[in-house]
Amino acid sequence: MVESFVARYRVVVHGTVQGVWFRDSCRRAAIEEDVTGWVRNRPDGTVEAVFEGPLDAVARCVSWCRMGPPRAEVTGIDVTEEPAEGICGFTVR
């Protein structure tokens, strides 16, 4: 049996990303991909998210962040790979 690689990426999303349902839409996208982690608004107006799970599913979540929900205007994202922590579930902070 081959186990899938567990990846963890932290994403900071820049642009008009607060007040446009970004966090809840991100949570739904992550749950659809069966990815764990969390998402939160930051005081500087960005949104930060952590995705953990199979590499291909995490990559799709990171890709989703490049567009976000319909009302978002994403101007860029910062992506950082981190060691997996074994998070359970996906939460909005």
> How is residue 35 annotated by DSSP?
-
* Domain boundaries, given as residue ranges, for the chain: 6-92
Listed in sequence order, the residues at least 6 apart from 78 whose beta carbon sits closer than 8 Å to its beta carbon are: 11, 12, 14
Instruction: Write down the pLDDT at residue 4.
Output: 61
pLDDT in tens, 13-58: 999 999 999 999 999 999 999 999 999 999 999 999 999 999 999 9
May I ask the CATH class of domain 6-92? alpha beta
Active-site amino acid positions: 23, 41
Cβ burial, residue 50 (10 Å; 0-12/13-18/19+) = buried
State yes or no: pLDDT of 2 exceeds 60.
Answer: no
State the pTM of this model.
0.93
pLDDT in tens, 70-89: 999 999 999 999 999 999 99
State yes or no: pLDDT of 3 exceeds 60.
Answer: no
Instruction: Write down the pLDDT at residue 5.
Output: 76
